[in-house]
């Protein structure tokens, strides 16, 4: 059996989980509500503050979906209770970021500023302090959407290995390369 899939998920207080028609799992909590369509072969049951995901057979497809579904539902529960957060650092001379409403405005060393509209589910904040690189903090209850938005921002200027300039996650370690050795 799947090690992850067979683990029960404890449902914290203040969170309600309903399994509707067409196997749509709805999780409501203090921070919001999330919905996820689950494969109709899998069975999701809530009993005594525990959620169990079971699979009908040991086929490879069912085994793969078993662990995936359990992890997705666990992430939904974590999202509606505590939420998720990603931080990005803009490392480079003249790199700046500003957020007004849901609009992110970044100067990343190109001839023009990059303006990006954040989804309404993602809240952003930009901090610029002297001596440290500008930092963009993104928060959301949806882990998948948050990771996708953060990856999109990072892809605008990936960190390069020679000087380390670019947009990187705050906990990311960029492997540096030695430049050209000095000439004669």
What residues does each domain of the chain span?
9-81, 84-169
Please determine, for residue 126, whether its predicted confidence score (pLDDT) is greater than 50.
Answer: yes
- Compute the distance between CA of residue 78 and CA of residue 58 in angstroms, rounded to an integer: 28
Q: In terms of pTM, does the model score above 0.85?
A: yes
Provide the pLDDT confidence category of residue 1 given band limits of 50, 70 and 90. Answer: very low
Q: What number is the average pLDDT over the span 160-182?
A: 90
Q: Specify which residues 44 forms β-bridges with.
A: 53
pLDDT at position 28 is 95
Q: Which has the closest alpha carbon to 136: 83, 101, 98, 109?
A: 98
Percent above pLDDT 90 for the chain: 84
What's the CATH superfamily of 84-169?
Answer: Ribosomal protein L6 (3.90.930.12)
Query: How do residues 17-75 score in pLDDT, each as one tens digit?
Result: 999 888 899 999 999 999 999 999 999 999 889 999 999 999 999 999 999 999 999 99
- Residue 183: the pLDDT is 58
Percent of the chain with pLDDT over 70: 97
Judged by phi (left if over 0) then psi (alpha if -120 to 50, else beta), residue 164 lies in left
CATH architecture assigned to 9-81 = Alpha-Beta Complex (3.90)
The bridge status of strand 123-127 relative to strand 32-37 is unpaired
- In this predicted structure, what is the pLDDT of residue 2? 60
Structure tokens at 179: 């430049």
d(CA 62, CA 72): 15
Phi first, then psi: give them for residue 64, nearest 5 degrees. Answer: -65, -45
Topology agreement, domain 9-81 and domain 84-169 = yes
Strands 24-29 and 96-100: unpaired
Q: How confident is the model at residue 182 (pLDDT cuts 50, 70, 90)?
A: low
| Helix, coil or strand: residue 62 | helix
Left, alpha or beta for 61 (phi > 0: left; psi -120 to 50: alpha)? Answer: alpha
């Amino acid at each position: 059996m799947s090690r992850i899939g067979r683990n029960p998920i404890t449902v914290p207080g203040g969170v309600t989980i309903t399994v509707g028609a067409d196997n749509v799992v709805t999780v409501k909590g203090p921070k919001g509500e999330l919905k996820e369509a689950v494969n109709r072969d899998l069975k999701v049951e809530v009993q005594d503050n525990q959620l169990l995901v079971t699979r009908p057979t040991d086929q490879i497809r069912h085994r793969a979906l078993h662990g995936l579904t359990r992890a997705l539902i666990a992430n939904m529960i974590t999202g509606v209770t505590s939420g998720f957060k990603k931080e990005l650092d803009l490392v480079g001379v003249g790199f700046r970021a500003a957020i007004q409403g849901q609009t992110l405005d970044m100067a990343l060393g190109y001839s023009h500023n990059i303006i990006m509209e954040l989804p309404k589910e993602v809240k952003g904040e930009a901090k610029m302090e002297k001596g440290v690189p500008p930092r963009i903090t993104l928060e959301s209850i949806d882990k998948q959407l948050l990771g996708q938005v953060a990856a999109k921002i990072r892809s605008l200027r990936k960190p390069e290995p020679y000087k380390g300039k670019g947009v990187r996650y705050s906990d990311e370690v960029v492997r540096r390369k030695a430049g050209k050795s000095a000439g004669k």
